[in-house]
C-alpha cells in the first residue's frame, strides 16, 4: 500500500507516466481500495469496459489491462462504463481539485458546466489561452480534450436524470447539454453499452416529486461529517441556509435559474435532494455541492501529513477525515469574510441576514449587482465596511475580480488585497473557502491562536506561521482542526 500511495502522492500525471507505473496501478486495483477511485481508471480489453480501481469484479489479468487518467480518456479509447461499479460516478480526482495551474482550473470550470454554456472558445477565453493550446495541455495530462471531458460529464448527468426523474428522454438530452437527441442516443450507447431507455428502471412506490432529483455524492473515506455540519450550522445565514442535526439545506443561484439542495452525510456517500427550476443546472449544482463539502479531497493523504506533527497527531487520530467547508458562491463567501472581520460569528450572521430578502422560502444570496442596488441602511454596519463590500461587488460585477472556480488563485488574492478594507486575513479566508486553496493559513486569527495554545503550539502569529510550514500543502485543513480546538 505504501508504494500505491506513492503513486497517488504524485497524482495522475501524463498518460505516459501512468503507463510507466503500471505495476503500482495494478496493485492498487488488486487491493480494491476505494481511496484510489477517481485517481485513475482501469480498462479491460477482454470485456471492453472500464472500472474504478475498487470494482468488486475479479481482478483482470495484467495483459488485458490498460490504465487511463480520466473516464473521458477511457471512453475515447472505446471502452464502456462498468455497470457494476459505475466509474462515471466515482469521486473526482483530488489532483484537479487542489491544483492551481491551468489544467486544474480548466477541470473545475468544465465540472461547473462552462463548456456546455459557452463552448470550448468560452472556456479558453476564461483561462486566457488559445483553444489549440488548451486542448494540447488537457490531452497531455488527461488523455482527452475539453469536448471529450464535457461529453463524459454530460453522459453522467443524463444517467442521473434518466434514473431519478420522469422527464422524457428528449428533454433529458437537452437538459444534460447534448446538441441533439441523436448525439444523446449515440453517446449513451457508447458510454454505457445500452440505449437510454434501458437505463430507466421500473420504480416502486410514489412517483418522484416534480423537479426533485435524488442522488448520492460519493467521497473518499473517511469523512468526519460532524465537523462539517457543525461548522456550517454555526455560520448559516438565516433566509439562505438552515441546518438540523444531520441535514444542511440552502438556496442555490445557478446559471439557468435558482434551486435548493438538502445534503445529508451518510456512511459511504452524501444523500442529496436537489430541487431545480431548470434541470440544465444539474451538473453545476452537483459540482458546487461537492465543492461546498470538499468531497473530492484525499483525506488519507492530508491526515498523513498532519499526523507527522505530534501536536496534531491526537486530533487526526480522534477525528480522521476532517474537511475544509467551502462555498457554492465565492462572492457570497467574500462578503461573509468582510462582514466577519473583528466581530463574532453570531453577530456576522445577523448582519448578513439583513442583506437577504425576507420570505418563507430560502433565497439565494444577493448577486453583486443586487448588493450594489441596496440602500445604505440595509447594511447595518460601519460605513467603511459597507464601502468595502460595495467595492468588492463592483469589481466582481465588472469582471475586474474573478472569484469563480477557475480563477487564478494568486491573482485573485492579489486583486482582493487591492480593494480598500481587505487585508491578508480576509483574502486568505476567501482563498480557502471561496476559491478552494488547500494551503491557506490565518496565524493572526484569534480562534486559530486559541486552538494552537490548547495544543501546546506557539500562539504568537509569526512563530505559529513558521511552525505551520510543516503542514504544507494542507495548512487549510490544519486550520480547521485548530479552530475546533479553540
The residues, any chain, with a CB within 8 Å of residue 87's CB and separated by 6 or more, are 37, 41, 50, 51, 52, 55, 71, 74, 81
C-alpha 373/C-alpha 353 separation (Å) is: 16
When divided into structural domains, the chain yields a total of 4
Per-residue cell: 67: 490504465
Question: 104 and 191, same structural domain?
Answer: yes
Assigned domain for 366 exists: yes
The residues, any chain, with a CB within 8 Å of residue 366's CB and separated by 6 or more, are 355, 356, 374
- pLDDT, average across residues 255-267: 96
Assigned domain for 293 exists: no
Question: 109 and 194, same structural domain?
Answer: yes
State residue 4's pLDDT score. Answer: 40
pLDDT digits over 168-216, tens only? 999 999 989 998 999 999 999 999 999 999 998 776 666 667 778 998 9
pLDDT digits over 409-446, tens only? 999 999 999 999 999 999 999 999 999 999 999 999 99
Question: 373 and 348, same structural domain?
Answer: yes
Choosing from 61, 94, 127, the residue where a domain stops is: 94
State residue 206's pLDDT score. Answer: 63
State residue 465's pLDDT score. Answer: 97
**Residues spanned by the domain of 398:** 330-440
Per cent of the chain over pLDDT 90 is 75
Question: 60 and 118, same structural domain?
Answer: no
Instruction: Please report how many Cα atoms fall inside a 13 Å half-sphere around the Cα of residue 38, on the Cβ side.
Output: 19
244 flagged as catalytic: no
H or E stretch including 259?
strand 257-266
Q: What is the dihedral of CA 125, 130, 132, 133, to 10 degrees?
A: -110
State residue 101's pLDDT score. Answer: 85
Sign of the C-alpha dihedral computed for residues 290, 292, 293 and 297 taken in this order:
positive
When the pLDDT of each residue in the chain is averaged and rounded to a whole number, the result is 90
C-alpha 396/C-alpha 403 separation (Å) is: 8
pLDDT digits over 27-50, tens only? 889 888 777 888 899 999 999 999
Question: 429 and 340, same structural domain?
Answer: yes
Residue with cell 479491460: 44
Domain holding 41: CATH number?
Answer: 3.40.10.10
Question: 165 and 229, same structural domain?
Answer: no
CA 407 to chain centre: 14
Question: 104 and 90, same structural domain?
Answer: no
The DSSP string of 52-91 is -TT--SPPPPGGGEEEESSHHHHHHTTPEEPTTT-GGGSP
State residue 23's pLDDT score. Answer: 85
Q: What angle do CA 215, 212, 264 make, to 5 degrees?
A: 45
State residue 207's pLDDT score. Answer: 64
Choosing from 156, 171, 199, the residue where a domain stops is: 199
Number of H helices, E strands in the chain: 25, 9
* Bridge pairing between strands 212-218 and 269-276: antiparallel
460 flagged as catalytic: no
Judging by beta carbons within 10 Å of its beta carbon (0-12, 13-18, 19+), is residue 51 exposed, middle or buried? Answer: buried
Assigned domain for 167 exists: yes
Residue with cell 486530533: 315
Please pick, among 21, 33, 51, 298, the residue that the annotation labels catalytic.
51
State residue 12's pLDDT score. Answer: 36
State residue 322's pLDDT score. Answer: 98
**Closest to 230 in 3D by CA, of 138, 307, 322, 95:** 322
- pLDDT, average across residues 470-479: 96
pLDDT digits over 84-133, tens only? 999 988 777 777 677 778 888 999 999 999 999 999 999 999 999 999 99
Question: 119 and 22, same structural domain?
Answer: no
Amino acid at each position: 500500500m505504501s508504494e500505491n500511495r506513492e503513486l497517488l502522492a504524485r497524482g495522475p500525471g501524463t498518460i505516459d507516466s501512468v503507463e510507466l507505473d503500471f505495476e503500482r496501478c495494478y496493485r492498487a486495483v488488486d487491493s480494491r481500495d476505494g481511496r484510489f477511485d477517481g485517481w485513475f481508471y482501469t480498462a479491460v480489453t477482454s470485456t471492453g469496459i472500464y472500472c474504478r480501481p475498487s470494482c468488486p469484479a475479479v481482478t483482470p489479468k495484467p495483459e488485458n489491462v490498460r490504465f487511463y487518467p480520466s473516464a473521458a480518456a477511457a471512453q475515447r479509447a472505446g471502452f464502456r462504463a462498468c455497470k457494476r461499479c459505475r466509474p462515471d460516478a466515482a469521486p473526482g480526482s483530488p489532483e484537479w481539485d487542489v491544483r492551481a495551474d491551468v489544467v486544474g482550473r480548466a477541470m473545475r470550470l468544465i465540472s461547473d458546466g462552462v463548456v456546455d454554456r459557452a463552448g470550448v472558445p468560452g472556456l479558453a477565453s476564461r483561462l486566457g489561452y488559445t483553444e489549440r493550446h488548451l486542448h494540447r495541455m488537457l490531452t497531455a495530462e488527461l488523455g482527452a480534450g475539453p469536448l471529450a471531458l464535457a461529453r463524459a460529464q454530460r453522459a453522467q448527468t443524463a444517467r442521473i436524470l434518466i434514473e431519478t426523474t420522469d422527464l422524457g428522454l428528449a428533454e433529458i438530452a437537452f437538459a444534460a447539454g447534448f446538441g441533439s437527441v441523436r448525439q444523446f442516443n449515440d453517446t449513451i450507447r457508447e458510454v454505457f453499452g445500452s440505449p437510454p431507455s434501458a437505463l430507466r428502471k421500473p420504480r416502486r412506490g410514489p412517483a418522484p416529486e416534480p423537479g426533485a432529483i435524488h442522488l448520492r455524492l460519493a467521497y473518499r473515506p473517511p469523512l468526519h461529517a460532524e465537523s462539517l455540519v457543525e461548522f456550517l450550522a454555526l455560520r448559516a445565514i438565516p433566509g439562505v441556509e438552515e441546518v438540523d442535526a444531520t441535514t444542511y439545506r440552502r438556496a442555490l443561484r445557478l446559471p439557468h435559474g435558482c434551486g435548493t439542495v438538502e445534503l445529508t452525510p451518510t456512511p459511504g456517500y452524501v444523500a442529496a435532494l436537489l430541487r431545480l427550476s431548470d434541470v440544465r443546472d444539474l451538473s453545476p449544482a452537483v459540482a458546487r455541492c461537492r465543492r461546498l463539502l470538499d468531497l473530492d479531497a484525499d483525506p488519507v493523504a492530508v491526515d498523513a501529513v498532519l499526523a507527522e506533527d505530534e501536536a496534531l497527531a491526537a486530533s487526526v487520530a480522534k477525528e480522521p477525515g476532517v474537511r475544509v467547508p467551502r462555498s457554492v458562491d465565492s462572492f457570497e463567501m467574500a462578503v461573509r469574510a468582510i462582514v466577519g472581520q473583528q466581530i463574532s460569528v453570531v453577530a456576522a450572521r445577523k448582519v448578513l441576514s439583513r442583506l437577504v430578502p425576507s420570505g418563507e422560502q430560502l433565497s439565494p444570496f444577493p448577486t453583486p449587482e443586487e448588493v450594489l442596488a441596496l440602500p445604505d441602511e440595509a447594511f447595518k454596519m460601519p460605513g467603511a465596511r459597507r464601502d468595502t463590500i460595495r467595492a468588492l461587488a463592483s469589481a466582481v460585477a465588472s469582471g475586474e475580480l474573478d472569484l469563480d472556480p477557475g480563477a487564478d488563485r494568486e491573482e485573485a488574492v492579489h486583486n482582493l488585497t487591492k480593494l480598500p478594507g481587505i487585508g491578508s486575513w480576509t483574502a486568505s479566508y476567501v482563498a480557502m473557502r471561496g476559491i478552494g486553496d488547500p494551503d491557506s493559513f490565518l496565524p493572526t486569527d484569534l480562534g486559530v491562536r486559541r486552538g494552537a495554545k490548547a495544543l501546546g503550539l506557539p500562539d504568537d502569529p509569526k512563530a505559529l506561521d513558521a511552525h505551520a510550514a510543516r503542514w504544507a500543502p494542507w495548512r487549510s485543513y490544519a486550520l480547521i482542526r485548530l479552530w475546533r480546538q479553540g
